[in-house]
Amino acid sequence: MAKASDRAYDTIRAMILSGELSSGEQLSEEALAERCGVSRTPVRDALRRLEAELLVRKNESQRSFVADWSLGDVADAFELRAMIEGYAAKRAAERMDDRTLDRLRSCNSAIYTAIRGKAPDVSAFLEYNKRFHEIILEAADSRRLISLLGALIEQPVVWRTAQHYGKEAFNSSHSEHDDLLAAFARRDGAWAEAIMAAHIRRAFHAYADAHRGLPSIDKDAA
């Protein structure tokens, strides 16, 4: 049962994070069971786990839906990320070694490859951006930080934010990673913390501007 439940959890979670299951969409246990190749019981267990992670919500009649966050919810999530991930960057800088720094550089090079074309490869950007932040979290060497940040980093809003990026916003993200690498190379925790907090705040405003129908950050700067 545990393996079936884990398979259902991983499959449904991936569908939510990728946007295949959209915000507010009702979740059919029967359809999900068929998609995951399991019975309905493991699906129910998976939905309970996802509800605890705020990826799924239930209404008064106990029907399950993909969680739909308000702009205020999103602001809270990014504010927490800025504080906690900023602290993680500080710890990572103070514990940085050359091997980890090389891994981060390699990851940011892959990000550059993903965004340098006329049409950025958003999927590749998301994959390597996620890995870049995961490496920093690993370097911070704190199980509590990993637990706190895991859900925040992988919220569907992160995926949606990237969909609103223009060329300059992708370039800004890559450039801010370069700034982080400079701070890490010098083992400067305070510098890394400030850069990371600003990096997260800029990402929030990219999302918020798109949500409000405002011009994107890169258009404002042009």
Question: Do residue 39 and residue 143 come from a single domain?
Answer: no
Higher pLDDT, 161 or 83: 83
Q: Are residues 94 and 161 in the same domain?
A: yes
- Distance of alpha carbon 160 from alpha carbon 67, whole angstroms: 14
Residue 39 sits in the same domain as residue 89: no
196-220, pLDDT tens digit by residue? Answer: 999 999 988 877 776 676 555 444 3
Domain count, the chain: 2
Judge if 37 and 96 occupy the same domain: no
In this structure, what token pair is assigned to residue 186?
A: 């010098």
Domain that holds residue 107: 71-221
The domain that holds 126 is classified in CATH as: 1.20.120.530
Residue 214 DSSP symbol: P
Poorest-pLDDT segment among 12-26, 117-131, 175-189, 203-217: 203-217
Q: How many Å separate Cα 114 from the centre of its chain?
A: 17
Residue 159 makes CB contacts below 8 A (sequence gap 6+) with: 17, 18, 19, 126
Burial class (CB in 10 A: 0-12, 13-18, 19+), 38: buried
82 and 187 part of one domain: yes
Give Rg (Cα) of the chain: 19
Q: Which CATH number does the domain housing residue 28 bear?
A: 1.10.10.10
